[in-house]
Structure 1
Amino acid sequence: MVYAWVKRSAARRPEAVAVLLPVLVMLVIGLWGLDRGGMWRDEAVTFQVARRSVPQIWRLLHTVDAVHGLYYLLMHAVLAPHPGEVGLRLPSVCGAAAATGLVAALGVRLCRPRVGLWAGLLYAVTPMTGHFAQEGRSYALVAAGAAGATLLLVRAARSARAGPWCAYGVTVAATCLLHEMALLLLLAHAATLALARVPARVWRAWGLAAAAVALLLAPLVLVSRSQSVQVAWLSRTGLGSAERLLAMFTGPARLVIVPYLLLVALAVLPARTPRGTFSLPAVALPLVAVPPAVLLTVSRWWPLYDERYVLYALAGAPLLAAAGAERLVARLPRPLPHAVLTGVLAVTLVLAVQLPLLRQDRRPDRRPDDLAAVSAVAHRELRPGDPVLFLPSLARRAALAYPKGFRGIRDIALSVPAPASGTLYGLEADPRELRRRLDRLDHVWLVAAPFATARAWSPGSPTERAKLAVIDERFVPRERIVRRGVTLRLYVRRPTYILAPPTGRPRPGLPSVGRAGPGALGSPPGPPR
């Protein structure tokens, strides 16, 4: 018995190494530079919502961000002991590591250990994986759930018991509750079953699991549709969208893209497989192709697409590349000595080519904005008691994420704070009350999002329009400080003898008010992402 156990353990050792080594590499990449010293806007939303009480989070989900509800509740538990940027991003690191291990496990199960090793390592060193491993959002966890559900599908289809199908359904449901765009995973799995030519009993079992998931997710889909204003910033897709996604899935360097695509093409060449057999291409090709293709196509008319929404589809790309490498090795006229090591060295070369991109990605300025830098400027320029006007209200996110820089200031427009109001940024005064508050001021600091400083911007909210109108009518700018993602401007009450309309620049001859800060003469940043 002992001999048999030792023999089984020795046989499984290559499989364990094939899974654990990529996980270790992913952990190193994910933990490298994890504390960037600043959150960007989406991470700030996670941070401030997760620190609310559970009833406050539940109230928020009725008005906004229902699609992220489960993730916010999870992060509430994670951040409760010690809130901070490392804790905010650590679940994503763990999710990326789990996804890496599951990709490797799929390669091992569907082909052989060295294919799993190559696929797992290639997944770990892909810049897109490393980027979302360090995002305080749900996408890396969704990728782990999708990879796990795919592995469970392969196992369940080979079993006559109900238990594996229940595990599959629960995993898919949990993944979709983390982000509803993961529902497209069911279409990929349906394509896999069709390519594998599974018997009718497998289709019935999968259909029951898929129906249960759809039924469970229906309320979330209905609620999120009523909150579709949250994705109003998305644009229609085109050929450029597909090209950018391809570069993200493989890595942008041409030295990587060309061999990568050649290996994928080699992997998907037709091959005879017994009916009901799950080949690696039959699993990986629908996973990498179906969800992005569906979302890109739909978004040509109804914009719903963003690269992060299909991060989970990335898992199929390294599996196909590894399968192509295996076919290439098998077709060589002579056996390739040290084939495993050769593949590992090839992935190491990919890492070396893409290492500069991974290094740059650890800098705060690689995100759309840096709210810590905004708070630092506010801490230097503002004094306790200074009146501050946020334009629009979402510009308040820097103060919510990093309140130290805004401590003691007077938020002129705010009526009900964000947690108590069940909103992301709080409820603001009506236009009449806002005018009354501003009429009592001789100066005010404006904290504005970049797009709010553009003359073409026309806010839909009456309160936002009132902010612009009062500032134009009653105040003149004296100082401007530009930081990536936000502009701080000091306005002073317009002297009664100045009759000309405001020009948007400091007027000569008026006494200087406030302190000149760095960047005061900088140009405003571009439109929001």
Structure 2
Amino acid sequence: MLAVGLWGLDRGGMWRDEAVTFQVARRTVPQIWRLLHGVDAVHGLYYLVMHAVLAVRPGEVVLRLPSVCAAAAAAGLVAALGVRLARPRVGLWAGLLYAVTPLAGHYAQEGRSYALVAAGAAGATLLLVRALDGGTGRMWWAPGGGTGRTRWAPRVGVGRVRWAPGGGSGRMWWAYGGVVAATCLLHELAVLVLCAHAITLALLRAPGAVWRRWTRAAGAAVAVLLPLALQSRRQSRQVGWLPVPDWESAERLLRGFTAGPEGAVFWGCVTLMAVGLLAGRSTAVTAPVMLAPPAVLMLFSQVMPLYHERYVLYALAGAPLLIAAGADLVVRRLAVLTGRSSRSRTVTAAGVLAVALVFVQLLPLHRYYRTLAHRPDNLAAVSALAAGEVRPGDPVLFLPALGRRAALTYPDGFRGVRDLALKAPGARSGTLYGREVGPRELQRRLARVDRLWVFAQRYALRSRWFPVDPTERLKLVAVEERFTPRWERERSGVTLRLYVRRPAADAGGFPPSGGPPGPDGPPAPDG
């Protein structure tokens, strides 16, 4: 997983969400704290972590390194779960499957918190299993009855589960609660992992002592999370763009959770996953982890849309465990039919080879995920466009204000320009993109320029878009009324358009071809 994460890590550009991490994490701690009172409280702990990371050396690779390391840790934790719930080869296969899954590789290279959350949720699940074991040995399963060797393991008799008293050490339970709390502070929707763990206890028919210890640990984690949840609830407009999930969303998530989005690899993984549901007691841990958080979030999102695949990335851990358990069950059944041993190293090596072949099959998708085209935008390209066309001292407008993120992330391309609408920078104003002047002041500033560059998001130039903010409305209306467009170019979803003041008797228009005009003459040649 570490190798997959490091492969192609330097893409040569950040996209909008990474850019927010980059510019916020480089602020002072008081400035970050002030920002969180108005926006992005849900990412507050992550920004503080990244503040310490980027203090070492700010850059794109360093920005993504914590996610790479977290993804590697998550793969290791998935492997450890497989070993504890089943046997070493199941852990090996599951960890490798996690590593070659394109979705895991994608978020391993994102400068956001989701890979860290996935590692935290996997760690919490492993601690839950260890707490049920009493901290030693392995959880034991024998559908036909028998006796277990571990101290606190649930023992299965005929038709019911029998538990040894105590339900695990208190220290292990509090470690579990601490990891859950830290994970939820990295992203509050990680709290849904508690739903999965509650289902696990219900499926194992845990006794009252276990439920009480789990409730205390989970309750402490929720109590820690509550202030953040209340604050982020007041900032819910930030996720107002999320659609209501449908069956297509569920299918897309299933394809993302398998090691292949289509074809034989996908159907093979789905088949083994279905077989893995019959693999015994381990299903009580792995299936809820995979199914419960996405299902709960999708159902809740029918009322208040909050669903996105990245918010439940941590549920991915259950999929390779189910697939590996299914493959192991198939091997053991075949061994029974053929009268051969299923414990040979050849079987383990064959499973590793199968995962390697899956990775080779998925190489084109992995390569695509490492290109700039896979992300919605490339702010480095926007900055390069500005550097090639806009001159120091030229007046600039960003439509809307969030378009300023390219200038904040890659300031070299905007060095020396005059930001007409800016009143106070983001760090000083406690905002992401800065506080802008009011409409009257912007009118006065526009009256003093005859030539203006506008960096507009693609949707801002559509006739259906009409902003609520009065300053944004003035940008949209006054520029079109008082200026005429002379030249434009688009790069990575951003349109750079040059306007010149409209003569009283001239309707203006675009030149038929060519580059931006000089200050006093006709359009200059391209390049």
Deviations 1:73-107 (A, max 9, x none): 00000000210001000000000000000000000
2:298 counterpart residue number = 296
Percent identity (aligned): 64
Contact 1:481 1:518 in 2 (8 A): no
Match for residue 282 of structure 2 among 280, 283, 287: 280
Q: In the aligned structure 1, how far is the partner of 2:53 from the partner of 2:314?
A: 23
Deviations 1:193-230 (A, max 9, x none): 11111221110000011111111111111100100111
Q: In the aligned structure 2, how far is the partner of 1:117 from the partner of 1:287?
A: 19
CA gap of 1:401–1:449, structure 2 versus 1, over 3 A, is: same
What is the root-mean-square deviation in Å for CA atoms of aligned residues? 1.7
Q: What is the CA distance between 1:161 and its match in structure 2?
A: 2.1
Q: In the aligned structure 2, how far is the partner of 1:508 from the partner of 1:135?
A: 41
User: Is 2:45 the counterpart of 1:70?
Assistant: yes
2:2 counterpart residue number = 27
2:326 counterpart residue number = 324
User: Is 2:477 the counterpart of 1:469?
Assistant: yes
Match for residue 513 of structure 1 among 514, 517, 520: 517
- 2:490 match: secondary structure: strand
1:81 counterpart residue number = 56
1:252 counterpart residue number = 261
Match for residue 487 of structure 1 among 477, 483, 495: 495
Q: In the aligned structure 1, how far is the partner of 2:43 from the partner of 2:514?
A: 50
- 1:33 match: secondary structure: coil
Q: Which moved more, 1:333-342 or 1:385-394?
A: 333-342
Q: In the aligned structure 1, how far is the partner of 2:443 from the partner of 2:373?
A: 36
Q: What is the CA distance between 1:485 and its match in structure 2?
A: 2.3
User: Which aligned pairs between 1:421-436 and structure 2 lie closer than 5 A?
Assistant: 421-436=429-444
1:43 counterpart residue number = 18
Q: What is the CA distance between 1:156 and its match in structure 2?
A: 1.1
Q: In the aligned structure 1, how far is the partner of 2:452 from the partner of 2:427?
A: 25
Q: In the aligned structure 2, how far is the partner of 1:455 from the partner of 1:429?
A: 24
Contact 1:381 1:517 in 2 (8 A): no
User: Is 2:467 the counterpart of 1:459?
Assistant: yes
Q: What is the CA distance between 1:512 and its match in structure 2?
A: 6.8
Match for residue 381 of structure 1 among 375, 389, 392: 389
Contact 1:479 1:516 in 2 (8 A): no
Q: Tell me which amino acid in the other structure corresponds to 1:402.
A: Y
Q: Which moved more, 1:209-218 or 1:36-45?
A: 209-218
Q: Tell me which amino acid in the other structure corresponds to 2:24.
A: V
Q: What is the CA distance between 1:63 and its match in structure 2?
A: 0.2
Contact 1:397 1:425 in 2 (8 A): yes
User: Which aligned pairs between 1:111-510 and structure 2 lie closer than 5 A?
Assistant: 111-159=86-134, 160-250=168-258, 251-269=260-278, 271=280, 279-332=281-334, 333-334=337-338, 335=340, 338-498=346-506, 500=507, 505-506=509-510
CA gap of 1:223–1:516, structure 2 versus 1, over 3 A, is: farther
1:53 counterpart residue number = 28
1:95 counterpart residue number = 70
- 1:213 match: secondary structure: helix
Q: Which moved more, 1:231-240 or 1:333-342?
A: 333-342
Q: Tell me which amino acid in the other structure corresponds to 1:363.
A: T
Q: In the aligned structure 1, how far is the partner of 2:367 from the partner of 2:209?
A: 49
Contact 1:60 1:423 in 2 (8 A): yes
Q: Which moved more, 1:335-344 or 1:402-411?
A: 335-344
Contact 1:99 1:143 in 2 (8 A): yes
2:144 counterpart residue number = none
Deviations 1:406-425 (A, max 9, x none): 00000000000000000000
Deviations 1:175-196 (A, max 9, x none): 0000001010000000011111
Q: Which moved more, 1:508-517 or 1:134-143?
A: 508-517
Q: In the aligned structure 2, how far is the partner of 1:81 from the partner of 1:239?
A: 44
Q: Tell me which amino acid in the other structure corresponds to 1:44.
A: A
- 2:433 match: secondary structure: coil
Q: Tell me which amino acid in the other structure corresponds to 1:46.
A: T
Deviations 1:407-457 (A, max 9, x none): 000000000000000000000000010011001100110001111111111
Output the TM-score relative to the length of structure 2: 0.89
Deviations 1:319-356 (A, max 9, x none): 00000001000100233551101101111111011110
- Structure 1 residues without counterparts, runs of 5 or longer: 1-25, 272-278, 520-529
Deviations 1:276-312 (A, max 9, x none): xxx2211110000000001111112211000100000
Q: Which moved more, 1:357-366 or 1:144-153?
A: 357-366
Q: In the aligned structure 2, how far is the partner of 1:351 from the partner of 1:76?
A: 35
Q: In the aligned structure 1, how far is the partner of 2:516 from the partner of 2:218?
A: 67
Contact 1:375 1:399 in 2 (8 A): yes
Q: In the aligned structure 1, how far is the partner of 2:420 from the partner of 2:225?
A: 41
Q: Tell me which amino acid in the other structure corresponds to 2:349.
A: L
2:155 counterpart residue number = none
Q: Tell me which amino acid in the other structure corresponds to 1:203.
A: W
Contact 2:484 2:500 in 1 (8 A): yes
Q: In the aligned structure 1, how far is the partner of 2:7 from the partner of 2:495?
A: 31
CA gap of 1:510–1:238, structure 2 versus 1, over 3 A, is: closer
Q: In the aligned structure 2, how far is the partner of 1:66 from the partner of 1:289?
A: 27
Q: What is the CA distance between 1:158 and its match in structure 2?
A: 2.4
Contact 1:288 1:316 in 2 (8 A): yes
Q: What is the CA distance between 1:510 and its match in structure 2?
A: 13
Q: In the aligned structure 1, how far is the partner of 2:432 from the partner of 2:214?
A: 39
Q: What is the CA distance between 1:517 and its match in structure 2?
A: 8.8
Q: In the aligned structure 2, how far is the partner of 1:517 from the partner of 1:28?
A: 47
- 2:455 match: secondary structure: strand
Q: In the aligned structure 2, how far is the partner of 1:306 from the partner of 1:394?
A: 22
Q: Which moved more, 1:302-311 or 1:246-255?
A: 246-255
CA gap of 1:96–1:510, structure 2 versus 1, over 3 A, is: closer
- 2:56 match: secondary structure: coil
- 2:38 match: secondary structure: coil
Q: In the aligned structure 2, how far is the partner of 1:154 from the partner of 1:372?
A: 45
- 1:130 match: secondary structure: helix
Q: In the aligned structure 2, how far is the partner of 1:451 from the partner of 1:61?
A: 27
Q: In the aligned structure 2, how far is the partner of 1:70 from the partner of 1:470?
A: 41
